[in-house]
Every structure is written in structure tokens, then in C-alpha cells.
A and B are shown apart, each in its own frame.
Chain A
Amino acid sequence: MSTRLFGTPIKRKEDPRLVTGGGRYLDDLGHDALAAAFVRSPHAHARVVDIDADDAFELDGVLGIYAHDDLPGKVGEPLPLLIPHPALTHGRTGYALAREEVNHVGEPLVMVVATDRYVAEDACQRIRVRYEPLPVVVGIESARDGAAVVHPDVPGNVAAHLTQVVGDVDAALATAPHTLTLELDIERSASTPLEGRGVYAQWDDERDELRMYSSTQTSTGVRAAVAAKLDLPLAKVECIAPDVGGGFGVKIMHPWPEEVLVPWAARLLRQPVKWVEDRREHFVSAAHERGQLHTVTVGFDDDGHLLALDVKFWHDNGAYTPYGIIVPIITATQLLGPYKPGAYRVEFWSLYTNTVLVTPYRGAGRPQGCFAMERTMDAIADRLGLDRAQVRARNFILPSEMPYDHGLLFQDGRPLKYDSGDFPATLNKLKALVGWDDFATERAAAVAQGRKVGLGIGCYVEGTGVGPYEGSHVQVETSGRVNVSIGLTSQGQGHETVFAQIVADELGVRMEDVFVTTGDTRKMGYAVGTFASRAAVMSGSAVALAARRVRAKALRIAADALEVSPDDLEIVEGTVQVKGAPATSMTLGTVSVLSNPLRYAFDEATQAATQFAGTFDPQKPPVAEGEEPGLEGKDFYSPTQATFANGMHAAIVETDPVTAEIRILRYCVVHDCGPMINPMIVEGQVHGGVAQGVGGALYERMVYDDSGQLLNASFMDFLMPYASEVPTIETDHLETPSPLNPLGIKGAGEAGCIPVSAVIASAIEDAEGFPITRMPISPADLWALRRRYAAGEIRPLRRASHPSESAARAEEPTP
């Protein structure tokens, strides 16, 4: 048996192409296509009185100008509500082009199609729209207050209200020796991939067929939605996700207005049409996430054990709810992290505002939940004068308690039941990595120099690999080339590499002979999409299962041809051979030849499969009963529930005593996503997640003014971290397998960003000596907090004088 590729940091198959300019992203396609551009609302909330496009029509090169009135049938009906939920009693979706009313700045009103983008944008500038402004709802407080409403038929702006309860929270709180109530806020941020959205559609007038390309995380989802909107048979629509320049959640949302309109226009005009989002459009018309206010009341005993957790939170869902209430559901369930909460009640309200809609951004509600839970843990430790890590450890679900059912429903409508994990081991690794127990000395040295440093910690559990399913098709050509198709898309996670690693192992072929196609509905029509850290778990399992089918078939055929038992065969580097007697063998390419009985040979090798070649038993049909021609197999993986990864981060920050500048001195990650297919890629995912987390903790926020204008809709003003802002990330791993899937794997994609705001807040609080309850935090914010603290408006932490908390508690045994 050749060396196992699973688990090795193999170099990516994608990279030689991508570093030499060979990538094919959406805007690299369709150079001859017509270009679409959009007139978007400059108002956050207004009635549309009149649209005058006369001047625009006079421009050379303009082929079409369309407003809502021009959209026929389903194209003009509201966009679909993708994930209905019984609690989403007032779900609302927008139109592909706004009808009568606009509900956020950036909402599309008019589409122009022209010979090129420059002309299309010229035309947009000549279109005059008259608006009658309406009262604007911006911010959660204003939405909750309900004085003004976004949708007249949605009282109080409440799209959804959901409560989940386990145990008697009121009784547990009433008898708890200690209680605390915390107000914890997280502001808006956004996925912000370097490549925005984009759609390119070709209509084949002779065959009545649509081929479309979209920079999407779900080509099957787009295909089905567009076919439904355009009233086309599914068989007449194909959708391909080409190379995608990052997604981070925003591209799982679909169909975007443009994904409906561009194919519609291509069909109408019988010419290819393309739209590529520009950066400002992405800020004001794609999607944001993270804005939530939380009130946490916790009851605990003298040792810091949780007795009751009562959480209320308010989620800003923006102007529409096409993606349902997935984000707040995830907060409500994943907030619990690695802990047993005692009695638990969580209640949320999902509220409309006149802002860009909210759909998952990497982490998807978890960073907010983690922030709420971890701030609570720190507050408990502070109240009791206990070590913060100790309080966490005392509340951990232990490995012996796995699987652990929280008694709640997760985002997939299935039980929130942790499958495996070793939280005490993760914490021990983290403490060793960051030097938790030695930090008191480090702090003392810093304080002696007049410096302020703090140590922070954050723990999380991430449900990954949610269903319903993914599939894979694996085929061996007569040349020995192995084609692997998955319907799930790739946005930089290295799917061409990791799934090839799995197939190479399962099938016994060389890595360089395996070619993976992702996100192409022509190759695999059944798929769900790339989100919820599910690709490795779902497609990885499906790929393994499909490859096993092909392997079994190859062994059957080869055993027949070599006149041995399949049990005596092995496959090594693409050759099927008898164990211990490798001279008796045939290549998988030859097996592929034999798998497909031929009348017509197409090269010398395939002559062996023709009718007079003497390779078949004349008593049997050429294709055996129960078999199909071809050395190929397809299989699907559909789990009963998600698998739960976990991790813990710690950081040491320094805050400037004068300027309040915040610097991360060290950032440590311990991460457990089960056995890693490719540790190099997992580590890269963690790095990227942490960087986004750092952005969310210290720099990134969507700044809306009261009139609903996004004031920082550019890379000049929305501060995404450069290399100068991201610290060196130190990592360590555990590999606790999941019992749920054939490879034992758990997802990794989102993990890195989940606890970062919690960790940085914890560290800043530790450095400053007063509570940090709102993130992100800028130097100006911290400076203002210091002034309030000095004025006595903020209570100090009990450990504000920075006793060496770990040293004082070192005698305490670890549970």
C-alpha cells in the first residue's frame, strides 16, 4: 500500500494555475458579452414616484433599460424566502427590481444593458428617479422601539420571535447563590471577499437553453431558483461556479436580483450578458452580518458552576429576510460553547431595519454568541475572584459525557447534540501554548516598565457539516485518469486538492491522476452548497463513499479478468494487483476498458473490450446483471446531524497608556476539527479566520448614519486588516474524530473567526481593569471608556489591581 495522503500537508493542485494568471474568475469570462449596470436607491426608505429614462435611451450602445414594470411573470414577483421557519411569522423578501418602495440604500431599481460597462454606467447616470422619502429605521434600538416601521404590515419591525427553553430557568435563577446581568453588543461587519458578486449568462436560442456562471457558493441553488423564476425546465438551465475569489458566506445567499435579471436579459436580448459587482455595490447591495444586542442573566454557585442562563437578544436582519433566521438560531444554540449551562432559556427577536440585508458571514451568529458566553464566563470569574480558565474548566462538558444532547434544535432543525470533543485537553494545550500560568510574571515585568498588558481567552464549539447531503461522482477513464465531480463549490478552500487526496487514498491511485471538478451542475446536479464549514465533512465523506464504490467495482472486474478472488487484490498507484504477487496485475485504465464492453474500439487499448477480443464469457451478458458500463460510481453522504468541532484561543494585548492604541502581542489558537485531511490547508483556514476575527474585533464596522447612508462604503473607510494589523498566529491542534462520518472529520472553515472578539475583549479588559462589553473597539472607543472609568461611570473589575490570578489559584485542582 502506498503512503496515505490523508493527513499530509500536500501542496495544492490549484496553485500553479492560479499563480500564473490561469485562474478563471467570473469577470475573466465573456469578453464579448453585453454589460449590465444598475440604478440603485440613494434613499434608505422611500416611495418610488417616477422613473424617467428618456435621456438614457439616447446614448449609443444602450440596448435595454428595465424597471419593475418591465419584468414579466415570476421575474417580477418577490424573490424566494429560502429558509422558512415557523417563528418567522413576518418574513419579507425584495423584488429583483424595487416595486413602488425601496427599503435600503443600494436596492436595485433599474437595470441597464449596454455594449460595455462604461456606457451602461453612463446611462444609469442619466436616469432620473423621483422619490418620496419615508421615515427611516436604522439600528437595533430604533427598530426595537418601533416608532417607525420598515414594512407597514410588520408591527414593531419584528420578523421573527423565537424562544427555546431547557429546564426551569426562573426557579434556578431564584435559588442561585449569585446572579449577574450583562449587556453585550456586537456591531455590523461583512464578508467582503476580494472578488464581489458577478453573473454571466448565455442564452442558446436554438436549443432554448440557458448556461449561466455565477460567483456563488451554491450553483445548484442558483440553477433551481433561476429556472423557477424564468419558468424554464431545470433540464434547460445549467449553472457553473467558476474560480470564485472568496465568499465567506455572502455568496451562499441566492438568487440575488442580478442572478435572476442577467439571465432574463440574456434570453430577452438573445445575447450574452454579464454583470460584475463593483466595490461600492458590494457594500450597499450584497449582505452584512453580526449586528446584535444581548442581555445575559446568569445564575451560578460559589465555585462558578452555571446554574441558569437566561439570554435575550435582538438581531438586526436588515431590510429583508430571504435567508430566514439562520443567523440568530445559530447564536441561540452555539452560544453554549463547551459548557453545560444548567437551565437555559434563549429568546430572540429578529428585527427589520432600512439597511442592507443580513445573511451569514463566516462564523454566522457564533462570534456574537461566543462573545456573550465568554464575557459572561469572565464576569463570573471576576465576581468570585477565580481564575478565568478555571471557571471555564469547571463548566466543561467532559469527554465521558459525549455524546451530549443540549435538548435544543440546531440550525438544521435537528438536535444540538455534540458528537465528540475533549475540552479539558484543548484548554490544557492552550494554557501551555500561551503560557497562561506564567502570565502574572510577564504582566508584572510590563507594569514595572509602565506598560499595560492583558491576557484574554475564548472557547467555542462549532456545529459543522450540516446536511441535508452532498454527493460525488468518481470515474476512471481508460487512460487511468480519475475524474471526481462534486456539486459543492470552492472559494479558495483547496477542494481540488483535499478531495483528490481522499480519492487517491481510497482508490489507490496517484494524486496527479485525480482531477476534481466543483460546483458545475453539468457534472453533478445534486448538491447543497459551501457553508457552515461543511465541505470537508459532507463532500469529503461523499467522495470517499463514491471512491469506495469504484474501488469495489474495479476489484470485481479485475478479479474476473485475472481469475482470482477480489479479496486477493489490492490497488497500488493505479494498478490492480494480486497481494504478494504483483506481477499478476492490470492497470485501472485497463479495468476501465473492460468495464465498458464495446462494439467499436477507439484506440489500441480499447480493442480488448470489443466483441471478438475473447475477453468476455459468452454465457453471460456483456454487462453483468446489476452492473452498469463504465468504471464509475456515485454516492451521497447524508448525516443524521451536524458534527461539532471546537477550539480555544488566547491573546496577549498591550494598550497604550496614552493613545489607547491596542496591539496584539501574541495570538494563540488550539483547534480540534478531527483528523485533518491536509493540515496545511486547515492551518490556512484558521489563519484567515483569525484575521477576519481581528478585523471584527478592532477595525471593521458598518457605519450607518440616521438617514440610513452607509458612511464607509469603500476600502478607504471600511478598515479591513492589512498584514500590518494581523499578528503572528501560533497554532496547535487536537484531532478528536467524529463518530458520525466515514473519515471521522469535522469542519474547519469558520472556526478561526468565532472567538476573536471575545478573546480580544477579555484581554483588553484584563489590561484595563474595567469591563469591555461592546465590540469592535477602536482606540477612540477605549479612550472614551477610560474617561468614563476615571469619572466613576464604569465599575472596576474586582481584579482591577491585577493580582496574579493564576498564581493565587494554582493550588486548585483541575476537575
Chain B
Amino acid sequence: MSEVLHEVTLTVNGVRRTASVPARRLLSDFLRHDLTLTGTHVGCEHGVCGACTVLVGGEPMRSCLMFAVSAQGLEVTTVEGLGLLPDARVCATGQSMNPVQQAFTECHGLQCGFCTPGLLTTVTAYLDDHPDPTSDEARAAISGNLCRCTGYQNIVKSVLRAAEIRAERRVPDAAEPGERHPKPAAAGGGPS
């Protein structure tokens, strides 16, 4: 009666991780419960709310709509990994934050914080492609994520502020134009 387990190896926040899981294990549950990376939250488990959004190979993906086994060999960045990206800086309270994380704390872009990790990953990827959005573009960029607390006003502000911080922190020649966001510093064993 026991379920067949499959060994899954993937890179999460720059670290190679291996675990044996049933084929039906959702990537969100795998990250949260097998790897105890609980920063990724689950709000609906049917792909609508966006709280579980992680970056897979730099692209935002709803981890509740992926099986862990289908992430075999892929590179995943969760909210815990955003502070490891090259444009992250250590803040006054000791945490390392990328520009998007920093902007959300500056602009009151979160209240309960439950939807926030999905927004942070989504916006991080968005700004890689659209480093200088208008207010309307910023609003459109977050329109796939549900937030029940903020009314989105300060999330839009946070996206715009993140773009500013990102520009301030941009090290010249750090990345080729059009390149997806750089790999975490500790990266190893990426996808083929």
C-alpha cells in the first residue's frame, strides 16, 4: 500500500537538494515540508492567488501547480533565496534583502505578509525584464497575485520603488542586457 517514492534532485536557492517523494507531491509542499523552506505560502492550491509563486529557472511559477518530480534538475529560487541575489544588501536589522524586499518594507507593501513571498518573487522576475515600469505597468505586473490586506496601493508603490533601488544598486557590467536575473552567489549544479 505504500506509495512509490522518487528521488528528486534540484537546486534551491543555490544549494543542491535531494529528497524522495511520491509522484503526486506538489512542489509547494515539497519546498515547505520536505525542505522546510516555509517562506513560500499556499493560499488556494489551484493556481489563482499566486502566494506560492517561486522562480523556476528565473521564471515565476506557481509551485502549487507543479509536482516536485517535475522540478527534477531545475533551479528554484524561493523568497528565502532573494536575499542571496547579487543585488541584495544587508539591512539595519540584519536581514539580507534584494531591492524588491527592501522596497516592500519601505512602502508598507505588506500587512499580514502571507501573499508577500509570491509578490516578491513575481516582481523580482518582472523587473529583470522591465527595469523601469510606469505605475500602470507596475499595477499590471502584480495583477496575477491576490492580496486581501493592502488594496494593492502600496504594492504598486513598492514595485516602482524597487525599480529605483535596483537601479541604484546596479553594478555596471554585472549582467548582460536581457539576461535573466543572475544566479545566487552560492549557485552550483544548475539545469542543463
Residues of A at the B interface (CB closer than 8 Å) are: 11-12, 14-25, 27-28, 31, 58-60, 118, 192-195, 243-246, 248, 278-279, 491-494, 680-681, 683-684, 687-692, 714-716, 720, 722-724, 726, 728-729, 752
Taking CB as reference atom, which chain B residue is nearest A195?
B114
B36 close to chain A: CB less than 8 A: yes
Residue from A12, A492, A692 within 8 A of B105 (CB atoms):
A12
Q: Can you spell out 14 A-B residue pairs with CB atoms less than 8 angstroms apart?
A: A20-B101, A21-B38, A21-B40, A25-B38, A118-B25, A195-B41, A195-B43, A195-B114, A279-B45, A691-B148, A691-B151, A715-B44, A723-B147, A723-B155
CB distance from B99 to the nearest CB of A (A): 11
B24 close to chain A: CB less than 8 A: yes
Pair A31/B151 contact, Cβ less than 8 Å: no
Bound together, the chains give a CA A680 to CA B46 distance in angstroms of 33
- Apart from A20-B82, A193-B114, A492-B110, what are 7 other A-B pairs with CB-CB below 8 Å? A12-B105, A19-B97, A28-B38, A194-B148, A246-B114, A492-B114, A687-B150
Pair B105/A688 contact, Cβ less than 8 Å: no
Q: Which residues of A contact B147 (CB under 8 A)?
A: 194, 723
Residue from A245, A683, A716 within 8 A of B48 (CB atoms):
A716
Interface residues of B in 4-23 (CB under 8 A from A): 22
Q: Which residues of A contact B104 (CB under 8 A)?
A: 15, 19
Pair A245/B97 contact, Cβ less than 8 Å: no
Taking CB as reference atom, which chain B residue is nearest A119?
B3
Q: Which residues of A contact B82 (CB under 8 A)?
A: 20
Pair A720/B148 contact, Cβ less than 8 Å: yes
Pair B108/A19 contact, Cβ less than 8 Å: no
Taking CB as reference atom, which chain A residue is nearest B78?
A21
Q: Which residues of B contact A690 (CB under 8 A)?
A: 151
Q: Which residues of B contact A692 (CB under 8 A)?
A: 148, 151
The 6 lowest CB-CB distance pairs between A and B, nearest first, are A21-B39, A492-B112, A245-B114, A691-B151, A18-B113, A687-B151
Residue from B2, B91, B152 within 8 A of A60 (CB atoms):
B2
Pair B152/A278 contact, Cβ less than 8 Å: no
Bound together, the chains give a CA A118 to CA B67 distance in angstroms of 14
Bound together, the chains give a CA A684 to CA B49 distance in angstroms of 20
Q: Which residues of B contact A248 (CB under 8 A)?
A: 148
Pair A28/B32 contact, Cβ less than 8 Å: yes
Q: Which residues of A contact B43 (CB under 8 A)?
A: 194-195, 245, 279
Taking CB as reference atom, which chain B residue is nearest A714?
B46
Q: Which residues of B contact A720 (CB under 8 A)?
A: 146, 148
Q: Say yes or no: A118-B24 contact (C-beta < 8 A), given A21-B37, A245-B114, A688-B150.
A: yes
B59 close to chain A: CB less than 8 A: no
Pair B49/A19 contact, Cβ less than 8 Å: no
Bound together, the chains give a CA A716 to CA B46 distance in angstroms of 8
CB distance from A640 to the nearest CB of B (A): 31
CB distance from B107 to the nearest CB of A (A): 9
Bound together, the chains give a CA A244 to CA B153 distance in angstroms of 21
Q: Which residues of B contact A687 (CB under 8 A)?
A: 150-154
Pair A23/B148 contact, Cβ less than 8 Å: no
Q: Which of B68-76, B115-123, B125-133, B172-180 contacts A (4 or more CB under 8 A)?
A: B115-123
CB distance from A373 to the nearest CB of B (A): 24
Pair B113/A729 contact, Cβ less than 8 Å: no
Q: Which of B137-145, B163-171, B181-189 contacts A (4 or more CB under 8 A)?
A: B137-145
Pair B38/A684 contact, Cβ less than 8 Å: no
Q: Which residues of A contact B101 (CB under 8 A)?
A: 19-20
- C-beta contact mask, B66-93 vs A, less than 8 Å → 1, else 0? 0000000000001110110000000101
Bound together, the chains give a CA A724 to CA B148 distance in angstroms of 14
Query: Chain A CB within 10 Å — which of B96, B97, B111, B140 has the most?
Result: B111
Bound together, the chains give a CA A714 to CA B47 distance in angstroms of 10
Pair A22/B39 contact, Cβ less than 8 Å: yes
CB distance from B30 to the nearest CB of A (A): 12
Q: Which residues of B contact A20 (CB under 8 A)?
A: 39, 79-80, 82-83, 95-97, 101
Pair A194/B112 contact, Cβ less than 8 Å: yes
Q: Which residues of B contact A723 (CB under 8 A)?
A: 139-140, 142-143, 145, 147, 152, 155-156
Taking CB as reference atom, which chain A residue is nearest B48?
A715
Residue from B25, B142, B152 within 8 A of A691 (CB atoms):
B152
Taking CB as reference atom, which chain A residue is nearest B106?
A11
Residues of B at the A interface (CB closer than 8 Å) are: 1-2, 22, 24-25, 32-33, 36-46, 48-49, 51, 78-80, 82-83, 91, 93-97, 101, 104-106, 108, 110-117, 120, 139-140, 142-156
Residue from A22, A246, A729 within 8 A of B148 (CB atoms):
A246
Q: Which residues of A contact B116 (CB under 8 A)?
A: 18-19
Pair A25/B153 contact, Cβ less than 8 Å: no
Q: Say yes or no: A279-B44 contact (C-beta < 8 A), given A11-B105, A722-B143.
A: yes
Query: Chain B CB within 10 Å — which of A14, A22, A192, A688 has the most?
Result: A688
Q: Say yes or no: A59-B148 contact (C-beta < 8 A), given A714-B46, A722-B143.
A: no
Taking CB as reference atom, which chain B residue is nearest A196?
B43
Bound together, the chains give a CA A248 to CA B38 distance in angstroms of 23
Q: Which residues of A contact B37 (CB under 8 A)?
A: 21
Bound together, the chains give a CA A302 to CA B154 distance in angstroms of 46
Bound together, the chains give a CA A278 to CA B154 distance in angstroms of 28
Taking CB as reference atom, which chain B residue is nearest A692?
B148
Pair B113/A31 contact, Cβ less than 8 Å: no
Residue from B51, B96, B144 within 8 A of A722 (CB atoms):
B144
Q: Which residues of A contact B106 (CB under 8 A)?
A: 11
Pair A194/B144 contact, Cβ less than 8 Å: no
Residue from A12, A16, A716 within 8 A of B95 (CB atoms):
A16
Pair B151/A729 contact, Cβ less than 8 Å: yes
Pair A15/B110 contact, Cβ less than 8 Å: yes
Q: Which residues of B contact A193 (CB under 8 A)?
A: 112, 114, 148
Bound together, the chains give a CA A194 to CA B44 distance in angstroms of 8
CB distance from A176 to the nearest CB of B (A): 41
Pair B113/A245 contact, Cβ less than 8 Å: yes
Q: Which residues of A contact B156 (CB under 8 A)?
A: 723
CB distance from B118 to the nearest CB of A (A): 9
Q: Which residues of A contact B97 (CB under 8 A)?
A: 16, 19-20
Pair B140/A724 contact, Cβ less than 8 Å: yes
Q: Which residues of A contact B78 (CB under 8 A)?
A: 21
Q: Which residues of B contact A21 (CB under 8 A)?
A: 37-40, 78-80, 117
Residue from A16, A246, A688 within 8 A of B151 (CB atoms):
A688
Q: Which residues of A contact B139 (CB under 8 A)?
A: 723-724
Bound together, the chains give a CA A23 to CA B139 distance in angstroms of 25
Pair B22/A118 contact, Cβ less than 8 Å: yes
Bound together, the chains give a CA A38 to CA B41 distance in angstroms of 22
Taking CB as reference atom, which chain B residue is nearest A191?
B148
Pair A684/B108 contact, Cβ less than 8 Å: yes
Q: Say yes or no: A31-B108 contact (C-beta < 8 A), given A21-B117, A720-B148.
A: no
Q: Which residues of A contact B144 (CB under 8 A)?
A: 722
Bound together, the chains give a CA A696 to CA B58 distance in angstroms of 36
Residue from B41, B46, B105 within 8 A of A25 (CB atoms):
B41
Q: Say yes or no: A31-B36 contact (C-beta < 8 A), given A688-B150, A714-B46, A715-B46.
A: yes
Bound together, the chains give a CA A371 to CA B104 distance in angstroms of 35
Taking CB as reference atom, which chain B residue is nearest A716?
B48
Pair A728/B112 contact, Cβ less than 8 Å: no
Bound together, the chains give a CA A519 to CA B36 distance in angstroms of 25
Taking CB as reference atom, which chain B residue is nearest A117?
B29
CB distance from A363 to the nearest CB of B (A): 14
Taking CB as reference atom, which chain A residue is nearest B24?
A118
Pair B105/A15 contact, Cβ less than 8 Å: yes
Pair B38/A194 contact, Cβ less than 8 Å: no
Bound together, the chains give a CA A60 to CA B4 distance in angstroms of 13
Bound together, the chains give a CA A726 to CA B151 distance in angstroms of 7
Q: Say yes or no: A59-B95 contact (C-beta < 8 A), given A24-B38, A193-B112.
A: no
Q: Which residues of B contact A16 (CB under 8 A)?
A: 91, 93-95, 97, 105
